[in-house]
Chain A
Amino acid sequence: MTAYLIRRVITSIVVLIGVSIVIFFLLHTIYPSPAQDVLGAKATNAAVNAWNKANGFDRPWILQYLSYIGNALHGNLGYSYKLNQSVAALFRERWARSFYLSGMSLLLSVLLAIPLGIYQAVRRNSLSDNAMTTVAFILYAMPVFFLALILIQAFALSLHIFSYEASQSTSVWAVMADWHAMTLPIATLTLISVAGYSRYMRSSAMDALAQDYIKAARAKGLPERLVLFRHLVRNACLPMVTLIGLSIPVLLAGNLITEQVFNYQGLGLLFYNSLGNVDYDVLIAYTLIGATLVIVGNLVADIALTVADPRIRLA
């Protein structure tokens, strides 16, 4: 296990370096320097050249890359000329908000999807299974913004139960405490996610139910409750482990549409606005962090899978 972990970590670092080089190269090719945006359209070539020289953008891209990585390893992710703040500060202000919104919805999705999927598998083709499948398909097919608008109209503007917008506090503790404001955005993401996850869970549980060990458990007279909890759940959850692992990047990437509709300042919105503003340093930092999280998510999923299923050998 330890040897496997070391190998995986080393491999992940190599992959991460490769990904960062590719990302940096691509961004550099498309957008060699932010000089024109910083200096404005009226800036002369001389002014642009002077700015590039002063800020190191006149050097070969590989040297710029090495400088960037060196700075990043020391916590310096660059500076947003548009927002007049360091990129690290911008991320610090937002990551916890995005993490809470996405994390809470992910957690609720999993907690709802697992029993739902199992229930549907056990009662497959029943009226309740078909009804839940229909609802799941509707939610799965529904655009996030549309579901969000429906929930806002129904529960905020018509029934006045919840707020039409997410919490505006910049303290994550205050955000977490503000259920009145956070229920609808979390519910939106949860409903969309649970629709997909429950389908995976149902399918996985149906496969597991057909396995010999389930039949054996039933044959030896175990109560159905124990069959399900002791033998089915753990095995049926294996695909979910992978799914959850792959969802880790989403925790920080933010959910752009939800953040937009619910007026929530998170990382997704920061990235979107940075795209519009061509905010170079924010874009590259966000992309690199996203790539890191994908790799970490994969690693975590693989490790979690081995923990959940000892039959899987790590070699």
Chain B
Amino acid sequence: MRPFARTGAKAAILAVVGATALAACGSSPSGGNSVQLTPNGAFGKVPAAAPFGHAGTITVAEPPGATPTWIFPVTPGANGSVYTAYSFQAEMWRYLYMFPDGAQIQENKPMSLASDPVWSNGDKTVTVTMKNWKWSDGQPITAADAEFFVDLTKAAVKVSPADYSQYVPGVGIPDQVVSMSTPNSRTLVMNLNKAVNPTWFFENELAGITPLPAQAWARASANGPILDFTNPANALKIYNFLAAQSKSTGTYASNPLWQVVDGPYKLTSFNNTTGAYTMAPNTSYSGPHAPTMSTLQAVPFTSDTAEFNAIKSGSIDQGYLPFTDLPQVNSIESTYNVFGYPGFGFSYVTYNFKDTTGDFNNIIKQLYFRQAFAHLEDEQGYIKAFFHGAGGQDFGPVPQVPPSPYTPANAKTNPYPFSVSTAASILKAHGWTVNPGGTDVCSKPGTASNECGSGIPAGTKLAFNLIWNTSPAIIGQQITDLVDQAKKVGINITLKSDNFNHMIATYYDVAQPKNDNLWAMEDFGGFSIASYPTMNGIFNSTGTYDIGGYANPEADKLIAASTTSSNPAAVKAEAAYLTQQQPSLFQPSVDNIEVWKKTISGPPASFESLTQYQLSPEFWYFTK
């Protein structure tokens, strides 16, 4: 998981531990696995698949700043991005298990390279059985190829923990893998150092494995012999060689290494200055696809404006509608299909539980205050007024939309609906003298249920600051309204604008504890989350991204259970608790709005999944 500055387009950084995938359609593209999406959050619609016409060259927009700078699927943090992972590398090398299924956050079984894992030994051993898919050189994709990936990640993190972007020390792959064996070419047995939650390990760890062609890549030099990669010393040599090749961005299309693929496409040209590239269909691709696959041509853009100009001119087949251009959607609807849906994740206002200024730390740790504050947020109003209807309500860390099997019941309807009067009543009931338009004062200090709470002396004022990210503009719009509503109940918030990079570098308890008294709340954006949406790392007290220092033993216990207990419902329980506890102010999610020409068709799910950052042109074709 990584923080992102919300945007209406694809520029958001995403680091999903689990893989993503598309709906299967078999070789008959009209048999798409169209999902029933909830109307909440959806903008526009995806038409049914039209009859296959012909293949051709499909041009897709490459968002600003998305130029891939790494091709080898063991990707360092510095070079990882959602685009590199899911729209570049994933066209060539597929994940062991593919998520999501269209816009539904669940596995797409026909697209996965292996059957679902089988657990044994008290959830300490997992067995994976590969399907009979083939590499582009005709060799079978074996269990050893999956093992090869894990061994290379082990080698990578030995060089530097940053060399594998999904690496979390001591957690998951590779640190928890103590041994692996391949009793036959299709079976991988993985032994872990302790029992894990099978669902978590499956969706967030196994799904991140990208089988690699050991028969072509397990070498330490271009013409060197194939090495035994299970020997750590060899694995290190192989990793160093492949990483060095990956740094040579000018040779991506010519290096024979990168021509051995199991995905639907092979790279045929790559411009490392502009980021433009072309991919030809992998004729040996074993997965489902259109009757004849089209060539893929990625067209880079330097700005959303340039991309929208290209759409208006009709010069690209698939792109995105920049959120700021949403009011102009009518101008392209005769040429393009338009569909928007939120990405899987959440946006939030982060509370700083370590800010002692004006006893804010003691105020914010009061559950009643966080609940009262949540009542001041008008999510429906924001979506209507600021999102032009293109967004979905979110009430907790696991969003209401897109549909996830882990969304708890209390996150499906707003537990703290917008009501200024309710917020005022809650504050009054807890010992605050409410001064609408002024500043509330604690008049009943103490820890009784009708008093302000522990550590809040008499005379404490409800006045603090909130730092907000100026881009995109919808953050400021929401925050401004929130401040106005808060003022109505005497909560006095001082706003300070900032930018994403500076906020993350400065207002971050884990990284910059010396700045804890500089900020009470901040809104930098939010997080994209994995298909198994544990908040491990974000709301546990030792989390790398516990930005405001939230510490709650019960939350820690539930989060730990999500990754270690055998209870498949653990993550739902975790999400329900956090939704009730409101460790931050959860905000509505804006849609990722995708457009594609009406002359292009395919299974609906293959277009819906674009909103989840997944590109799947192997399913697309021209209708006429």
Contact = CB atoms under 8 A, between A and B. Distances in A.
Interface of A: 37-44, 47, 51, 81-85, 93-94, 145, 149, 152, 156-157, 164-165, 168, 170, 259-265, 269, 273, 276-278
A263 B63 CA distance: 11
Contacts of B313: 156-157, 164
Given A47-B161, A276-B65, A157 B78 contact: no
B302 A264 contact: yes
Nearest to A266: B302
A158 to B, nearest CB: 10
B83 interface: no
B544 A41 contact: yes
Interface in B286-326: 300-303, 305-306, 309-310, 312-313, 315
B302 A84 contact: no
A212 to B, nearest CB: 53
Contacts of A164: 309-310, 312-313, 315
Contacts of B511: 41
5 contacts: A40-B161, A43-B160, A94-B273, A261-B305, A263-B301
Interface string B195-231: 0000000000000000000000000000000000000
Interface stretch (B33-41, B164-172, B569-577): B164-172
B79 interface: yes
A40 B274 contact: no
A129 to B, nearest CB: 35
Contact of A39 (B162, B246, B300): B162
B501 interface: yes
Contacts of A157: 309, 312-313
A151 to B, nearest CB: 11
Contacts of B167: 42
Contacts of B65: 273, 276-277
Interface in B482-516: 501, 511
A152 B313 CA distance: 10
Given A82-B69, A168-B276, 7 more contacts: A42-B544, A44-B169, A47-B162, A165-B310, A262-B302, A263-B309, A265-B273
B274 A47 contact: no
Contact of B305 (A44, A83, A149): A149
A43 B545 CA distance: 13
A190 to B, nearest CB: 20
A165 B299 CA distance: 12
Given A37-B78, A41-B511, A261 B544 contact: no
B247 A260 contact: no
B362 interface: no
State the majority secondary structure of interface residues on B. loop
A98 B78 CA distance: 27
Interface of B: 2, 64-65, 67, 69-70, 76-79, 160-162, 165, 167-169, 246-247, 249, 271-274, 276, 300-303, 305-306, 309-310, 312-313, 315, 501, 511, 544-545
B177 to A, nearest CB: 18
Given A84-B70, A260-B306, A263-B306, A40 B315 contact: no
B457 to A, nearest CB: 37
A43 B511 CA distance: 11
A91 B312 CA distance: 32
A254 B305 CA distance: 18
Given A149-B305, A260-B305, A261-B305, A39 B79 contact: no
Contact of A40 (B70, B78, B276): B78
A160 B420 CA distance: 53
A93 B272 CA distance: 10
A165 B309 contact: yes
Contacts of A42: 77, 161-162, 167-169, 544
Nearest to A165: B306
Contacts of A263: 300-303, 306, 309-310
A210 to B, nearest CB: 46
Contacts of B79: 82, 84
B19 to A, nearest CB: 20
Nearest to B271: A170
Contacts of B69: 82-84
Most buried by B among A47, A51, A84, A261: A84
Contacts of A165: 306, 309-310
A168 B274 contact: yes
Nearest to B274: A265
A39 B160 contact: yes
Nearest to A97: B273
| A42, A51, A94, A264 — most chain B CB neighbours (10 Å) | A42
